[in-house]
Structure 1
Amino acid sequence: MHASTFTTTSGFLLPSVHSLPPFFTLQAACPPALAKFTDDWIKTILAYARHRQLFFLKVEDAETTGNEWDEVLKNERINRKLPPPFLEHIISTMVTRNLAVYEPAKQTRTVLLHWRLPQEWADTLHQWATDTGHLNTILTFYEITDPPVDSPLTGIPVPLLRHAIQELAKTNLAQIISIADGEGVRFFAPSGR
């Protein structure tokens, strides 16, 4: 069995383990193999999500075809696809490790991925506000997630945006404000400047 890397249509480089049929099998009878493959899947999923700027992963993505996850969850070259129970295990492990959160809460089939941790999103958000001259002004969440010029924050889900703002609020770099259209945020310069 020869393992080799492969570049997908979107330009993502799949690791060599992705070309091994056992990688697509829930190795419940062999805990060391299960742990290793779970770790490899998590790294691959998060790297792919970052590459494609995907925020959500659903168990249904392994059950259906023609979705944005096909390049990773399936390997037509070896006629394999990730079984939904294995993806459920991977998702559960990601949540346990704080690499994802169930979204919406109180269900276990869809997660919001943390290919950037909330603190990293907070840093990105504050840098964007600084670079675009939005310090001490009030912005709606919509103005941040759907700006006129694409930014690293374009399309960020509101729950993740809210979490990033809460991280900034802990250090007095942002404040959530109620406005007529819902919620907004004001960004502040770091103290001492």
Structure 2
Amino acid sequence: MALSTHTTPSGFLLPSIHSAPPLLHAHSEQPNQYTHAHLTEQWTRLILTYARHKRLFILRIEDAKVPGGDWDEILYNERIKRRIPPSYLSSFMAALVAQNLAVYEPAKQTRAVLLHWRLPEEWADVLHSWATATGQLNTILTFYEISVPSPLSGIPIPLLRRAITVLSHSNRAQIIGVADGKGVRFFVR
């Protein structure tokens, strides 16, 4: 089979490397360090671009085994009948964490990661730009109010907290206790 690009049903363009059987072989089966590093780089790019395309934030080892799941378009290649093994996905997730492109979520386990297809610093800029553009400066908003009608819709609370912490450190926001839990007030740069 010749390597070729392929568009998934969700409209994501899979790179031609996705058709290569070694890309879907177990990570630990790659004895050559160059090949191992190259495949890790390819998977890093593929997972993060796909996550951004579909606005997916969490990747679990179990996703490698779920037919029809959110990640199935890239973790399974129907054209060559290959699925990424869970052990490979686990190894890849560890590499993402080591590169600060993901964090284990919840912490102290290694079965699920919170992906940083945008770094917390980038989310902080998106959040502050949204607050400025919508006139939310000096207004106290709950985390729920921030994540519902905004470019941060669907963002997991742990990632939202990290972005707000970035803003707090640069004096662009302040976390405030409110009746329903936590809120945030944004300030002018």
**Does residue 1:159 correspond to 2:151, yes or no?**
no
Deviations 1:112-170 (A, max 9, x none): 000000100000000000011100000000001112xxx32001110000000000011
Residue 35 of structure 1 corresponds to: 37
What is the aligned counterpart of 1:46 among 36, 45, 48?
A: 48
1:62 corresponding residue in structure 2 = 64
In the TM superposition, what is the alpha-carbon distance from 1:176 to its structure 2 partner?
A: 0.4
Structure 2: how far apart are the matches of 1:2 and 1:89? 28
Give the drift of 1:31.
2.1
- Consecutive unaligned residues in structure 2, runs of 5 or more: none
CA RMSD of aligned residues (A): 0.8
Deviation string, structure 1 residues 35-94 (Cα, Å, up to 9, x no partner): 111110110000000000000000000022121000010001000010001000110000
> In 2, distance between residues paired with 1:89 and 1:45?
13
> How many residue pairs get matched?
187
TM-score with structure 2 length normalisation? 0.97
- Secondary structure, in 3 states, of the residue corresponding to 1:115? coil
**2:3 maps to 1:10:** no
Task: Please state how far the C-alpha of 1:24 moved relative to its aligned partner.
Answer: 0.5
TM-score normalised according to structure 1 size = 0.95
- C-alpha separation in 1, matches of 2:36 and 2:86: 15
CA distance in 1 between counterparts of 2:155 and 2:84 reads 27
CA distance in structure 2 between the partners assigned to 1:86 and 1:38 by the alignment: 10
**Of 82, 85, 90, the match for 2:84:** 82
Q: Using the aligned pairs only, state the percent identity.
A: 60
SS where residue 10 of structure 1 aligns?
A: coil
Letter in 2 for 1:7: T
Distance across 1 between alignment mates of 2:43 and 2:171 = 37
